[in-house]
Amino acid sequence: MPQQQYTTFIPLLLFLVVMYFLIYRPQATQARRRREMLGKLREGDRVLTVGGLHATILDVKEETLTLELAPNVKVKADRGAVQAVRGRQSKPA
């Protein structure tokens, strides 16, 4: 009887292993890459915000950034509002 009980858990165990490799692991890797990207933000980086705005970082504080959207158009944004880094300006403005 114990042998039969173990065989009933094999599909459940297999399902959990597949879910780990298909869902949890890629999501954890993506979150780690985002944390690293947000931690490496510097003045002069060209970024894309989650709102779709392209900007250049003028100043970096603990959790806030000063972004320049266009010449003489500056806004403050949360560090988490950055979706992607698009490059680096040759000379910070």
pTM value is 0.72
What's the mean pLDDT when you consider all of the chain? 91
Task: Give pLDDT, residue 6.
Answer: 78
Phi-psi region of 72 (alpha: psi -120 to 50; beta: other; left: phi over 0): left
pLDDT over threshold 60, residue 1: no
Residue type, 55: A
| Phi and psi, residue 2, nearest 5° | -60, -35
Of 73 and 90, more confident: 73
Distance CA 26, CA 68 (A): 33
Measured over all CA atoms, what is the biggest interatomic distance in the chain, rounded to whole angstroms? 78
pLDDT, tens digit, 9 for 90 and up, residues 38-57: 999 999 999 999 999 999 99
